[in-house]
Amino acid sequence: MTPLPADRVLEQFFLDARGKLLEVAAVFDRLGRGAGADAATTDARAAKLRQAVEVLLSDAPNKAELLQKLFSLPYDPNWKRPQPRF
C-alpha cells in the first residue's frame, strides 16, 4: 500500500489532529489547575501522558506503535483466554 503524500495527509487530517491536540492541552490545563495538582504530578497516568507527548515530539517514524505500547499492558504468557458464557 502506498502512503498518502504529505500534503494530502495535512489536507485530510489537519483539522482533526488540531482538535485532538487542543483536547489534550485542555486535559493538561485541568490537571494543573485542579485541587491536588501537585499530587497529580506523581500519578502514573499523568506520567504516561507526559511520556506520550515526548513520543509525539520525537523523530521516531513509528509514533503510533510506540504510543500503543506505552498504554498497553505488558505481555503475560500465563494469560488465560476468557471463555464464552453460556
Is 85 within the bounds of a domain? no
Reported as a single tens digit per residue, the pLDDT across 40-55 is 888 999 999 999 999 9
Is 15 within the bounds of a domain? yes
Reported as a single tens digit per residue, the pLDDT across 53-72 is 999 999 999 999 999 999 99
**Range of 25's domain?**
6-70
Is 84 within the bounds of a domain? no
**Segments in 1-86 forming alpha helices (H):** 6-33, 37-40, 44-57, 63-70
Of 49, 52, 47, 76, which is closest to residue 63 (Cα–Cα)?
A: 52
Reported as a single tens digit per residue, the pLDDT across 15-32 is 999 999 999 999 999 999
Is 80 within the bounds of a domain? no
